Amino acid sequence: EHRHRQAIKNFGEANHARLQRSRRRNRYFHRYLTKVVRHQVLPGARVLDIGCASGDMLAALNPAYGVGIDINGAAIADARKNYSSLTFHEMAAEDVGKLHETFDYVILSGVLPQLYDLHTALEAIRLVCHDRTRIIVTTFSRLWQPLIRSGELLRWKARVPDESWIPPTEVQ
């Protein structure tokens, strides 16, 4: 598990600039995804974004109190620089219980396939939830896998480390 987490961290930090360029090139998708998530989050809420990258989605949600975590130190540095009104921690999803606080919404956008141990991560996330917390998960459908791989080969999408394709029943 530690080796897997370290590999994801190393990849993200070594390729941060390239991943950000890809994100800008594919901004329509990221704006649309943010719009979908924003539709689910009430303004003025306490929001935790797990795998927040550079904090763009969290900032767009306009939380009263927003916390973003990511294992990519370069992304967290960008997030802190760009969104000083929000709080960012370099931290793995499995360690989120160390925050010792609860949130109204927990966002996991594109994160689940990168987790080595989904059960451990979800147990940790439970520690930052209260009885009315909503957990919002976005991820690719397995049906998109051939198109995503094609986009990576054509360099339309940044290549990322191999991910787990988790069936919806695993998350429920």
pLDDT value for 158: 57
- With a CB cutoff of 8 Å and minimum separation 6, the contacts of 73 are 9, 13, 90
For 144, phi and psi rounded to 5 degrees? -80, -10
Whole-angstrom distance, CA of residue 84 vs CA of residue 162:
32
Q: Which of 5, 103, 92, 108 minimizes the C-alpha distance to 49?
A: 108
pLDDT band at 117 (very low <50, low <70, confident <90, very high): confident
Mean per-residue pLDDT, 89-106: 96
How does the average pLDDT of the chain come out, rounded? 84
The maximal CA–CA distance of the chain, rounded, in angstroms, is 45
User: Model's pTM, two decimal places?
Assistant: 0.78
pLDDT band at 167 (very low <50, low <70, confident <90, very high): low
Read off the pLDDT of residues 5-25 as tens digits, 9 standing for 90 and up. Answer: 777 776 667 777 777 777 777
pLDDT band at 143 (very low <50, low <70, confident <90, very high): low
